[in-house]
Amino acid sequence: MIKRRTLTVVATVCAAGLSAASVSSASAVSAASDSNSTSTSTSGSASGSVPGSVSGTDLNAGTNSWTTAVGDNGDVTGAHSVSGHIHGFVWHGGTLVDLPPGANQDYSIANAVDAGGDVVGTGGNYGFGYVHAYEWKGGSPNGTDFGALYGNSFANAVNTGGEIAGQSQTSLSVTVGALLNSGVPTVLPDLGGSYTAPMYLNDAGTAAGYSLTPSGDQHAVVWIGGKLTDLGIGTAAGLNAQGQVLVASAQGKGAPFLWTNGVQTTFGAGVQTVTGLNNAGQVVGTFLPAGSTTAHGFVWQNGQLTDLGAAFFPTAVNNVGQVLGNTAADSYGLGVVWYQGQVTTLTPTSGQYSEPEQLNDNGLVAGIVQGTQDATVWQLPAVSGAALHKRGG
C-alpha cells in the first residue's frame, strides 16, 4: 500500500512526459498447502501492556498530504501540496522540512529514507516534462538531480550504504532497472520486456521487484550481486535482510510464496494476498478460511498460520512482530496494530477514518486521516521484552 498514491501521481507524470469495527482475538487455524504443511498454532499473550487505542499526531503537512516511508530513526517521508504543486517532505520529531524540486521544476516526492536520514525520490516538471531520480542528503532541502539515461528516471529505495534502487527510461517505450552508487547508474539485467522495476533493496545490495517478459507477462525477480534470478509469475512484495523475497500474484496469475535461496514456500489453501515480510520470516496478508466468504487477516511463520480475524486487513509487519492493518479492505475503516493476540486501534486526529501504511521497528506508524487527507503519525509504546532485529532493507 505504501506506493499507491506515489505511483498514481508518477504514472500521470510519465504519461504526460511520454506523449470503528471490532477485531477478533487471533486464533490459530490449520491450512494445507500443495507443497508445504501449514500447521495449527496458538497465539501467545503480549509482553507488557498493549494499549486499546493510540491517538494520532498531525504532521502539519496540510491537506492533500500523505506518507511514503518511515525510518527506524523516526524520519517520515511523504508529499504535500505547496502553492498548488506537489513537494516531497521529511518529518522528524515534530519538525517538517519541505523538499522542493530543482530550479524551474514544479514537482517532487520523497519515496524512501535510510538510517542516516538521506532521502530519495523523484523531482521534475508535472505534466509535459520529465521527472528524475532525486536525493536529498541528510534531509536537506537542496536536492541532487541524478538525471536519466533517457527521459524519466525514478528512485524507489535506499540502503544504509547509500546505494539507491531505481529506474530509468532508455527510450520512449523501454524502462530499465538500475542501482545508483554515488549517482552513477548500473543497469540491471532484465527479462527482455519493456519495463523493469527494482522496488526493494537491503543492506547487502540485494534488490527485488519485477520485470516484464517480451510477451508482457510480469515476473518477480531478485538481483543478487547484480545477477538476475527469475522467480516466475508475480511481483516482489517484500525483501528482508536474509535475502528472502515475498512474491505476490500479478496480472491475476500465480499464487503467493516466500522465496529462500531458490526454495519456494507457499502459505496454505485460501491465501489471497501477501503484504508484508520481516527479518524473522513472518509474512502477513489475507486468506479465505474454508467455508467462509469473508477474507481474514493472517500472520504466517515457519508453516504456522494465525488467523487475525475478519476485520483485519494487514499492510505491514515490523521486526518486533507487530502487524499493521485496517479494519476495512477499502481503507475506510480504522487503523489497527496486532501484537501477540492484542489489538490497538489508531485513532484519527480528525474525521472518521485512519489509514496507516508504514510501521518501523520502534512502533512509529505513519499514514493519513481520510477525509481531510492529512499526513499523520501514531506512536505505539515500547513493547516490553521484545527483541528488535536489525533491519536490512
Average pLDDT over residues 280-306: 96
Q: Is the pLDDT of residue 26 over 50?
A: no
**Residue 176 pLDDT level (bands cut at 50, 70, 90):** very high
Q: Is the pLDDT of residue 33 over 60?
A: no
- pLDDT given at position 158: 97
3-state SS assignment for residue 205: coil
Cβ burial 198-210 (10 Å sphere, 16+ → b, else e):
bbbbbbbbbbbbb
**Residue 392 pLDDT level (bands cut at 50, 70, 90):** very low
Q: Is the pLDDT of residue 23 over 90?
A: no
- Between 38-47, 55-64, 299-308, the lowest mean confidence (pLDDT) is in 38-47
- pLDDT given at position 95: 97
Q: What is the DSSP letter of 46?
A: P
What is d(CA 122, CA 111) in angstroms, rounded to the nearest whole number?
A: 8
pLDDT, averaged across the chain: 87
Q: Is the pLDDT of residue 40 over 90?
A: no
Task: With CA atoms as reference, report the closest residue to 122 among 160, 91, 159, 77.
Answer: 77
CATH architecture of 4-19+23-379: 7 Propeller (2.130)
pLDDT tens by residue, 71-87: 999 999 999 999 999 99
Cβ burial 323-333 (10 Å sphere, 16+ → b, else e):
bbbbbeeebeb
- pLDDT given at position 50: 84
3-state SS assignment for residue 87: strand
CB 368 within 8 A of CB 346: no
pLDDT tens by residue, 125-136: 987 789 999 999
What is d(CA 271, CA 282) in angstroms, rounded to the nearest whole number?
A: 15
Average pLDDT over residues 333-357: 92
pLDDT tens by residue, 250-278: 999 999 999 999 999 999 889 999 999 99
* Percentage above 90 pLDDT, the chain: 77
Q: Is the pLDDT of residue 389 over 70?
A: no
Beta strands in 125-206 (DSSP E): 131-136, 144-145, 150-158, 164-171, 174-181, 184-187, 196-201
**Residue 44 pLDDT level (bands cut at 50, 70, 90):** very low
Q: Is the pLDDT of residue 43 over 50?
A: no
- pLDDT given at position 387: 43
- pLDDT given at position 349: 86
Q: Is the pLDDT of residue 372 over 50?
A: yes
Q: Is the pLDDT of residue 294 over 60?
A: yes
- pLDDT given at position 391: 34
- pLDDT given at position 384: 57
Average pLDDT over residues 200-212: 98
CB 339 within 8 A of CB 322: yes
Residue 9 has φ and ψ, to the nearest 5°, of: -70, -45
pTM for this model (two decimals): 0.87
- pLDDT given at position 345: 96
Q: Is the pLDDT of residue 69 over 80?
A: yes
* Percentage above 70 pLDDT, the chain: 85
